[in-house]
């Protein structure tokens, strides 16, 4: 019984990692940027949920839409203001800018809202499902269902629509795509919008589970989601899903292990990063990734 519940917990946590990992993988796939600010977009989304529900008392539906919309907007604004002027700059400059943006969002939130966490009520609450002696958390089921739907939507978008074709073309060869009449800037902005939209959904699901917003919540979440993206194979959408669930499971099971009297839960972050290092040694392309040949 406990095993099933832990399995469901793993799926729930893994769903959120997968949603965030998708944003990383899409942005990395298109402009080869490790977008450090991606995790912090989730933090902003959580604060928006808190502000709408607790401060403005506007109800959960508004909160969901407001935080998803604002996350999407924020992602596009970050791209336009901070990353677009550096499109031809060296990769190192872009990466440092991304760190600057992430650091700015975290410390800005700390300045405005204070370092202590903000508690909120659950956004939606449905009674738990009971099958025989097994109680399934409905939050976990909703999280899982929303994640799977979002991913299916994303796959359709990338593989069946014109915009998706443009995204794949830009990620393959930016110069050639431009020559074929694809607006590279619009496509990159669109990619950021979709990635941030998924982060917004992730943020709603996350604040529904943990019901708390802190300025630094995004950084660790984002880093682990990046580990998930690397584990699955960076640039690959199914890879991000698999990697996300894998990291979720690993974390839940490490927390559940006990040596003598001690729980190993304090070590779970260390284990996740150790896995990243092992993956990079054994199979740097990840589970679903493919090798990219370097051209001079």
Partner 1 sequence: MRDKYKRIPVPVRYLINAVLCALFLVIVQSLISGGAISRYQSGILAQIGVYIIMAVSLNIATGYLGQLPLGHAGFMSIGGYSCAIFMMRLSDKLGVETADLLVPGLIFGGCVAALFGLIIGIPALRLKGDYLAIVTLGFAEIIRVFMLNIDSLLGFKFTGGAGGLTGIPRYSNFLNVFITVILVCFFIHTMMKSRHGRAILAIRDNEIAAEASGVNVSYYKTLAFVISAFFAGIGGGLHAGNIGVMDPTKFGFMESIEILVMVVLGGMGSMLGSISAATVITIVNQALTSLSEYRMVIYALLLIVVMMFRPKGLFGTYDFSLNHVMERLLNRDFPKRMNRGAKK
User: 3-state secondary structure string, 48-90?
Assistant: HHHHHHHHCCCCHHHHHHHHHHHHHHHHHHHHHHHHHHHCCCC
Shortest Cβ distance from residue 129 to partner 1 (Å)?
36
Q: Which of residues 92, 116, 160, 175 is near partner 1 by CB under 8 A?
A: 92
82 binds partner 1 (CB under 8 A): yes
Question: Given the complex with partner 1, which of 141 and 264 has the nearer CB atom?
Answer: 264
Please identify which residue in 69, 73, 96, 169 interacts with partner 1, judged by CB under 8 A: 96
Residues whose CB is less than 8 angstroms from the CB of residue 12 and which lie 6 or more positions away in sequence, other chains included: 137, 139, 140, 143, 144, 209, 248
Window of 4-12, 43-51, 154-162, 276-284 that interacts with partner 1 by CB under 8 A:
276-284
Under rule CB under 8 A, residue 284 binds partner 1 = yes
Distances in Å between the Cα of 55 and the Cα atoms of 61, 109, 114, 121, 239 are 15, 16, 15, 12, 39
- Output the six-digit token pair for 79: 């791209």
Question: What is the secondary structure of 209-269 as a DSSP string?
Answer: HH-EE-TTHHHHHHHHHHHHHHHH-TT-HHHHHHHHHHHHHHHHHHHH-EETTEESGGGHH
Q: Nearer Cβ to partner 1, position 148 or 266?
A: 266
257 binds partner 1 (CB under 8 A): no
Instruction: Count each helix (H run) and each strand (E run) in the chain, helices first.
Output: 11, 6
Among 258, 262, 283, 290, which residue interacts with partner 1 (rule: CB under 8 A)?
Answer: 262
Q: Which two tokens stand for residue 36?
A: 């450090």
d(CA 17, CA 244): 5
Using the rule CB under 8 A, which residue among 134, 156, 186, 280 binds partner 1?
Answer: 280
The sign one gets for the Cα dihedral 195, 245, 95, 167 is negative
Is residue 193 near partner 1 by the rule CB under 8 A?
A: no
Is 156 a binding residue for partner 1 by CB under 8 A? The answer is no
CB of 142 to partner 1, least distance (A): 31
Select from 74, 120, 166, 227 the one that contacts partner 1 (CB under 8 A).
227
Among 7, 34, 69, 155, binds partner 1 (CB under 8 A): 34
Is residue 107 involved in binding partner 1 (CB under 8 A)? Answer: yes
All residues at 6 or more sequence positions from 205 whose CB lies less than 8 Å from its CB, including other chains: 15, 16, 19, 142, 143, 146, 147
Of 69 and 95, which CB lies nearer to partner 1 in the complex structure?
A: 95
| Position among 97, 147, 191, 236 found at the interface with partner 1 (CB under 8 A) | 97
- Sites of contact with partner 1 (CB under 8 A): 32, 34, 82, 85-86, 89-97, 99-101, 103-104, 107-108, 110-111, 219, 223, 226-227, 230, 259, 262, 266-267, 269-270, 272-274, 276-277, 280-281, 284, 294, 296
């Amino acid at each position: 019984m406990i095993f099933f519940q832990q399995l469901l917990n793993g799926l729930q946590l893994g769903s959120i990692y997968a949603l965030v990992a998708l944003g990383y993988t899409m942005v990395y796939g298109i402009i080869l940027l490790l977008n450090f600010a991606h995790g912090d977009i989730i933090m902003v989304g959580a604060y928006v949920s808190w502000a709408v529900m607790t401060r403005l008392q506007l109800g959960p539906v508004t909160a969901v839409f407001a935080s998803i919309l604002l996350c999407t907007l924020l992602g596009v604004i970050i791209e336009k203001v901070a990353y677009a002027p550096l499109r031809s700059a060296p990769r190192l400059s872009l990466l440092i800018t991304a760190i600057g943006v992430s650091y700015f969002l975290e410390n800005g939130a700390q300045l405005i809202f204070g370092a202590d966490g903000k508690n909120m009520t659950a956004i939606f609450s449905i009674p738990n499902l009971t099958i025989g002696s097994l109680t399934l958390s409905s939050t976990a089921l909703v999280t899982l269902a929303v994640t799977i739907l979002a991913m299916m939507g994303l796959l359709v978008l990338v593989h069946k629509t014109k915009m998706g074709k443009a995204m794949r073309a830009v990620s393959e060869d930016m110069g050639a795509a431009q020559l074929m009449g694809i607006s590279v800037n619009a496509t990159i902005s669109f990619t950021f919008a979709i990635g941030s939209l998924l982060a917004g959904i992730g943020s709603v699901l996350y604040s529904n589970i943990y019901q708390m917003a802190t300025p630094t919540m995004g950084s660790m979440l984002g880093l682990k989601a990046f580990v998930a993206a690397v584990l699955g194979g960076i640039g690959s959408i199914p890879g991000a899903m698999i990697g996300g669930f894998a990291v979720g499971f690993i974390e839940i099971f490490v927390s559940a292990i006990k040596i003598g009297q001690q729980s190993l839960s304090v070590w779970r972050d260390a284990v996740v990063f150790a896995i990243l290092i092992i993956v990079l040694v054994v199979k740097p392309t990840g589970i679903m990734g493919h090798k990219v040949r370097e051209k001079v």
